[in-house]
Amino acid sequence: MSEQHHTEPHKNAHARIENLSGGVAIVTGGASGIGYALVEAAVTRGMHGVIADIETEAIQVAEDNLSAAAHAAGVKLLGCTVDVSSQESVAGLADTVTRAFPDTPISLLCCNAGVGGGGGVLTARDIDWDFVIGVNVKGVANCVRTFVPKMLSQNAPGAIVTTSSQDGICCAQGVYGVTKHACVALTEALYNEVRGALSVHVLCPNAVATNIVTSERNRPVRYGGIAKEARPSDTKANPIAERFKAFGMAPSRCADLVFDAIQSGEFYILAEAIDDPGYVHLEAQTRMDAILNKGLPSRPKSELLTKVFDLRIPLPDKE
C-alpha cells in the first residue's frame, strides 16, 4: 500500500502589491501581447521591468513605448534577448538581471513566453513536438529552476505567475493543449514545493488579441525555424491572426486579473473575456464532470472562439 502523505494546508502567500513595488519584475515574452501588458502593469505598480524576449527588435520597441511610464513611476526598464527553451540562455538572462539590479529583490517572475501551433498529436513531427514543448514547458521549467531559488533566498515577498491557457484546463486538443496542461501541472507542483514562501499563480485566458497566431516567427533554427534573413518577404497575412486581434480580449485585461490574483491569493486565474463570460469556468467544469462521471472528453461551444475561428463571420467594422 502506498504511503499516505498528510501535508499541512498552506496558503498562497498574499504578496501584496505594495510590498512588491521597488523590486524587479521579470516577464518572459515581455515584448508582445500579454507579456507586454504584464510589464506595463508591473512598471505602473512601481516595479523595475525586465522585458525578456526572443525578439530583439520587438524588445526595443517595447522599451521605447514603456519608457515614459517607467520614468513616471521612477523605475528602470531592462531589455534582454533570451530563448527560454535554452537553459544556457536563461542562465545568461539571470546574469544580466543580477548585474543590472545587484541589490534589488526579484519580486515578480512571469513565465509567460509561449508559442501556438504544433498541430495535432498525430500529425505533429518530432521537431514540432520539440519546439512547442521546448518553449511552453521547458521554457517555464528553465525560468522557474533559475529564478525561484534566488527568490526564496531573498526572504522577501514575491510572486510567480505562469501563463497557461484555457487550453490547459479543458479537454486538451493538439500539441499546444498538451503543453498548456503541462504548464498547469508544473505550476501546481511548484506551488506545493514553495510551501507558501512565495505566491504562485497560473493564468488561463480565453482568446486574447495578441500575435500568438504568428508564433512561427519565433521558431529557433534548431527547432526547424527559418533564419530571419532567409525568410521570404512576401508572406501572406494570416486571416486567423487578424481575427484574434479583432475579437480577442485586451491583453491589459489579463494583466489586471493577474495583479488582482496576486493581491487576493487566487491560484487559478480564469481570465474570462467580457463578451464570453463564464466560458473558461464552464470548460474546466465540463472536463471535471467527464472525469468524475465516466464521460468522454468534450468542449463546450464558445461564442468568442467561434468568432475567432469561423471565417464566415465578418470582422467588426473598424471605427
Ligand X SMILES: NC(=O)c1ccc[n+]([C@@H]2O[C@H](COP(=O)([O-])OP(=O)(O)OC[C@H]3O[C@@H](n4cnc5c(N)ncnc54)[C@H](O)[C@@H]3O)[C@@H](O)[C@H]2O)c1
- Nearest residue to 279 via CA among 299, 297, 302: 302
CA-CA distance, 314 to 319, in Å (whole number)?
15
Nearer to ligand X, 154 or 252 (CB): 252
Min separation Cβ 74 and ligand X, Å:
26
Part in contact with ligand X (CB under 6 A); list of ranges 29-37, 187-195, 258-266, 287-295: 29-37
> Of these, 12, 15, 29, 247, which contacts ligand X (CB under 6 A)?
29
**Residue 74, C-beta contacts closer than 8 angstroms, at least 6 positions apart:** 46
Give, as ranges, the residues between 162 and 181 that touch ligand X (CB under 6 A): 163, 165
CA-CA distance, 65 to 138, in Å (whole number)?
30
Distances (CA, A) of 26 to 190, 227, 241, 257, 313: 18, 27, 27, 18, 38
The answer to whether 212 contacts ligand X (rule: CB under 6 A) is yes
- Site size for ligand X (CB under 6 A): 32
Strand-pairing partners, residue 28, are 52
Min separation Cβ 48 and ligand X, Å:
19
Strand-pairing partners, residue 161, are 110, 201
The answer to whether 115 contacts ligand X (rule: CB under 6 A) is yes
> Of these, 13, 38, 47, 53, which contacts ligand X (CB under 6 A)?
53
> Of these, 13, 40, 85, 133, which contacts ligand X (CB under 6 A)?
85
Query: 250 near 74, Cβ under 8 Å?
Result: no
Provide the binding-site residues for ligand X, judged by CB under 6 A. 28-29, 31-35, 53-55, 58, 82-85, 112-115, 135, 139, 163, 165, 205, 207-208, 210-212, 215, 218, 248
